Amino acid sequence: MAPLLVTILAVFSAQQLLTPVLAPLSRELALTETQLGLVITVAAASLTVASPLWGQAMRRLRLRTVLMLGLGLAAAGLAGFAVVATLGLDGVLPPPVTLTLMLVTRSVVFGVGLAALPVAALTVAGLATTGEADRTRATGLVGAAQGLSLVLGPAGGGALAVVSLLLPLYVAPAICALLAIWVLATVRRGPARPPAGAPRGPRLRPWDARLWPLFAIGFCVFLSLGLVQVVLGFLIADRLHVDPQATAGGVGIALAVTGVVIVGVQGALVPALGWRALRLIRVGTPIAVAAFGLLAVAHSLWLITVAFGLLGVGLGLAMPGIVAAPGLLVGPEEQSSISGLVNAVIGSTFIAGPLLSTALYELAPVAPVLAALAASATALALAWLSPAARHARAEADAIAAP
């Protein structure tokens, strides 16, 4: 499990290196907020489509093969994105061509490659654990690795952007390429597959009666994050009236604080509490609602940072429950499939989220924040009121019983 956690941490940190520079870079490239949202939306669509396919591939391919394929695509996509951005800033490519090539490199190629990594990690977590507490702890560690990337990535990206807006774009693919070499040298050749002879069972669908309430809750929670993450740079620039470098630095600070909190909650607090998945969701979502309410009225960097720190507490509690709960309803033979579906649900929120968020921002800067508040409130209502969610808990108890 340790090599997978290192892989997740490194690749997601490389991705997050770009976060502080995307908003100012898009304006330097003469792209609108909606066009930037389109780049991230297409990346999420690529991840969403690829995730179930990677889940099926995990049943047939060795773990190291899946990781190498994913890392190779991620490195190629990020390298292509860096070259395209450089040519766009130099005036070699007009904005429409720049946008098209960004969609191919940063969105499609990188999105497909990135999808392989969390699917592999969640599959191994599902196969290596038994019981709700162990599963939630393992998925919490995967989430903590992703959360730590929110510390390292934006902080590193903000620091590199002080030198040049393009520097994070070239460092990111270099990290992926070096990580691929490390995986090739350290990850065992053995497969991460269901036990030999295990029945395949019926093919899982997102609308399965056992799964849809958990997927709906997860969709709303991750959608709320997607609605505010992309426009954070615009919020800081427009509310505080600062230049692109200061904007990148402010984004880095806010997301770094969020990452520190998420790492602490998922890596230490969740294992110490030992709560059930549904309880984590029910406690985490109202904290997220409060965080979005604060962000809606925050007009200073410190208050924006406090709001994102509070959001880190809510998401840090809710996310391990959201990711672990579906896997508790299926057997070992379906862990790779359920991991692909979970990752697809998470990815799908970033299809609608960034595009909707940037479109709403053009109507009113506070609108994406209010939409995020509504989404997290919907997740809270489903966690408490949905009969299907209660039935999912009862079924998880039955599966866990000896």
Q: For residue range 80-129, list pLDDT tens digits in order.
A: 999 999 999 998 899 899 999 999 999 999 999 999 988 888 777 767 66
Using alpha carbons, select from 60, 57, 52, 334 the residue that is nearest to residue 200. Answer: 334
- For 384, other C-beta atoms within 10 Å of its C-beta total 14
Type of residue found at 283: V
Contacts of 7 (CB under 8 A, 6+ apart): 67, 71, 117, 121, 179, 183
Q: What is the dihedral of CA 138, 154, 375, 329, to 10 degrees?
A: -10
CA 394 to chain CA mean position, Å: 28
Do residues 33 and 24 lie in contact, with contact meaning Cβ atoms separated by under 8 Å? no
Alpha-carbon span 119 to 212, nearest angstrom: 19
Question: Which pTM does this prediction carry?
Answer: 0.73
Domain boundaries along the sequence of the chain? 2-189+206-400
Using alpha carbons, select from 8, 264, 9 the residue that is nearest to residue 121. Answer: 8
What angle, rounded to 10 degrees, do the helices at 232-240 and 19-28 form? 70
- Alpha-carbon dihedral sign for residues 327, 225, 302, 298: negative
The DSSP output letter for 189 is S
Do residues 101 and 80 lie in contact, with contact meaning Cβ atoms separated by under 8 Å? yes
* Beta strand extents in 249-383 (DSSP E only): none
pLDDT for 332 beyond 80: no
HSE-CB of 76 using CA atoms within 13 angstroms: 12
Mean pLDDT computed over 47-54: 88
Q: Is 185 exposed, middle or buried (0-12, 13-18, 19+ CB in 10 A)?
A: exposed
pLDDT for 198 beyond 60: no
pLDDT attached to residue 128: 66
**CATH-assigned architecture of domain 2-189+206-400:** Up-down Bundle (1.20)
Alpha-carbon span 396 to 327, nearest angstrom: 9
Q: For residue range 276-304, list pLDDT tens digits in order.
A: 888 899 999 999 999 999 999 998 889 99
pLDDT for 214 beyond 60: yes
Which pair of structure tokens corresponds to residue 89?
């800033």
Q: Provide the pLDDT confidence category of residue 270 given band limits of 50, 70 and 90.
A: confident
Alpha-carbon span 185 to 351, nearest angstrom: 35
Alpha-carbon span 294 to 98, nearest angstrom: 37
pLDDT attached to residue 209: 62
Q: For residue range 316-326, list pLDDT tens digits in order.
A: 999 888 887 77
Q: Provide the pLDDT confidence category of residue 306 given band limits of 50, 70 and 90.
A: very high
Report the chain's mean pLDDT, rounded to a whole number: 83
pLDDT attached to residue 259: 79
